[in-house]
Structure 1
Amino acid sequence: MRLDPAGSLLDLLVPAVANLAELSGREHDVRYVLHARSMPVGVPYPANPLHELLDRFGLRHARAFTVTHHACAASLQAVDLAGRLLAADPDPDALALVVAGEKTFTRDAQLVPEAAVFAEGAAACLVRAGDGPDRVLSYASKQLGEFDGRLAEDQELTARYQRAYPQAMVEVMTAALERAGESWESLVLVLPHNVNRISWQRLCRATGFPLEKVVLDNVRSVGHSFAADAFINLHTALSGGLLRSGDRYLIAASGLGATFSAMVLEH
């Protein structure tokens, strides 16, 4: 897994924003900065790396806050929330910057028993109202609060969560497809959360979607990077030429607690 024990959260986030070429020259258009985060607490008080990030890129004028309510599905929640904020903004050029990435600084941030090993990866994207290079067609989310607890210490809770997980994930992905007016057959790709390969083999059997169309390259080489998985896997798909204009694809994510989310987009 990708780890940097000597690096800070700011060290992790800065390169992701710096590599966002579309941001250069448009910093003044950024109205909101959202940090999509899995862990409620990311650094000790009074450190605030998000506001240090604003200083680094000349974004102090933007309203900045953290989204944590959906754990590792928070990046999809952040994109949806950014879209709602921008739709209400009178400036048609207004932008929102969404960043994701966290440090594995506790045991709970390093491991989900029998499910995933976490890594330190970061990503960033810009959101605007109206059309763009990738257009959001739908978003669906489902929460099962009965699984809110410490899976590492409660084996019975873990067992129940593992039994409920496949059906809940399929239901939310199907809901997103229906809201977008799409089907499993019309999808070109599924961009997963990088928890493990086995769970996606089971989900593909349940839905009939081909496993080879699920971008699983980063499960082994990068690991589960909290809420950043969605953007990391999109970067992999775009860099690999896996998406063409007009293609529909689905991003899926789940967060402990438990949240299941899916978003359908058009490239």
Structure 2
Amino acid sequence: MDRILERAGSSLLERRMFTKFHGLRDSPTLAAGEPMEGLLVGAARDALAGRGAQVILYGHSQSVQDFACGPGFAQRLRGSLGLPEAQVYGISQINCVSVLRAMELARRYHFRSTARTGERVLVLGGDQGSVADAARIVPRVTVAGDAAAAVVVHTPVGDDLPRYRYLAGGALRDGRFHRSLRMTTKELTLFSQSCVGHLSTALREAAAGAGIRLSDIDWFMPDLSSALFWRNFCRETGIAPERICLDLLPEQGHNNGVDALAALQHADHSGRLHAGDRVALVALGPGAYFQVVIVEVEPAAGPEGNGHR
């Protein structure tokens, strides 16, 4: 992390701020010549667990990525996954909420009038933040890395049982900050001051949709951009810090839209989650966009259902 900031011209004081206050230490970076597509395909295969999917929704924060600039990305993806007939759609222009928004769209797909039993939607997410050092740095906030994650959204059929049950979602956008990363210093300051309140509103909307209170949520799988933000969030909302799963922040940092899925998988694999736990997946980003998805851990684990790389 320090080398990335130094190469981009950050001062020693600013670099220390990223470590001390934001809690950021490392940022995953692909080796020279290592393809981002490989991460995406690997995460997708883990999530599919040998089963198929009718639709692939690829959520990404960067509007244009090197591997997608040339023709054939969708065809290569379908070929690598053995899904020649799958429909592939990109979900973008909404920054770091793209992956959780794709999950909401996947759920809507299952409730369309022509839905068929057994249909599965692969939600894939990931960006190569390391394309350029300057582009991966959000001033005074975070540094983006290279990572991919995937989850299959489906209804229970036979032995194809989901690990998590969708309860509800919530979303919010504040158009005052439409300039995104081109915001002025004054706008950035106001954006930072508004984030906790906006996220709390989205969380309350999701909790109300699930028929629960905010206090009934057992775990929060956060956007991993800054420990400072989550300290402020806990102080202003009264939510206990130990309910925010920040374990991955120092070693992995912020990876655009896949943070919440990465935190969820890590918490599950480390034995933190139990049947009946209610978990809020959280994403926020410049724009300003906020997205929350609340799920419940199912007692009977089927195929793992999500993959992260």
Q: TM-score, normalised by structure 2?
A: 0.80
The reply on whether 1:219 has 2:249 as its aligned counterpart is yes
What residue identity is the alignment partner of 2:69? Answer: Y
Specify the alignment match of 1:17 in structure 2: 44
Alignment-derived partner of residue 138 in structure 1: 168
How many residues get paired?
A: 263
Alpha-carbon distance change, 108 to 228 in structure 1, aligned in 2, over 3 angstroms: farther
Shift of 1:148: 1.5
Give structure 1 stretches of 5+ with no counterpart.
Answer: none
Paired residues for 1:204-215 under 5 Å: 204-215=234-245
Indicate which of 42, 47, 65 corresponds to 2:89.
65
1:127-168, Cα deviation, whole Å (9 max, x unpaired): 113673211111111011221215366212211211211211
1:122 lines up with 2:148 in the alignment? yes
Higher radius of gyration, 1 or 2: 2
Q: Does 1:111 align with 2:137?
A: yes
How many Å separate the matches in 1 of 2:75 and 2:139?
33
The answer to whether the 8 Å contact 1:8/1:103 transfers is no
Q: Return the alpha-carbon distance in structure 2 between the equivalents of residues 171 and 148 of structure 1.
A: 19
Change (3 A) 1:76 1:246: same
Q: State which of 56, 62, 85 in structure 2 corresponds to 1:33.
A: 56
Retained in 1: the 8 A contact 2:177–2:183? Answer: no
Shift in Å at residue 62 of structure 1? Answer: 0.7
- Matches of 2:229 and 2:74, distance apart in 1: 33
Query: Which consecutive residues of structure 2, in runs of 5 or more, have no partner in the other structure?
Result: 1-26, 298-309
Give 1:95's match in structure 2, choosing from 120, 128, 142: 120
Alignment partners' CA distance in 1, 2:70 and 2:192: 37
What is the CA–CA distance in structure 1 between the aligned matches of 2:28 and 2:71, rounded to whole Å?
Answer: 24
The code of the aligned residue for 1:127 comes to V
CA distance in 1, matches of 2:273, 2:72: 37
Task: Give the Cα separation in 1 of the matches to 2:222 and 2:90.
Answer: 23
The 1:194–1:108 alpha-carbon spacing in structure 2 relative to 1, beyond 3 Å, is same
Cα distance in 2, alignment partners of residues 153 and 221 from structure 1 = 29
C-alpha distance 48-37 of structure 1, shift in aligned 2 (>3 A): farther
Contact 1:193 / 1:254 at 8 angstroms: preserved in 2? yes
Q: Describe the SS at the equivalent of 2:253.
A: coil
Q: Distance in 1 between matches of 2:135 and 2:44?
A: 23
**Pair 1:232-2:262 in alignment:** yes
Native 8 Å contact 2:109 2:115 kept in 1: no
Query: For residues 3 and 49 of structure 1, what CA distance do their matches in structure 2 show?
Result: 21
Identity %: 24
Structure 1 residues 148-157 or 158-167, which shifts more? Answer: 148-157
Q: Which amino acid aligns with 2:79?
A: D
| 8 Å CA contact retained: 2:224, 2:249 | yes
Q: Which residue in the other structure is 1:158 paired with?
A: 188
Consecutive aligned runs of 4 or more in structure 1 exceeding 6 Å deviation: none
- Give 1:183's aligned residue: 213
Amino acid at match of 1:14: V
Instruction: Report the CA distance shift for 1:103/1:254 in structure 2 as closer, same or farther (over 3 A).
Output: same
Deviates further, 229-238 or 87-96: 87-96
Q: 1:40 to 1:82 in 2, by over 3 A?
A: same
Structure 2 residue matching 1:252: 3-state secondary structure: strand
Alignment partners' CA distance in 2, 1:153 and 1:171:
23
Q: CA RMSD in A?
A: 1.8
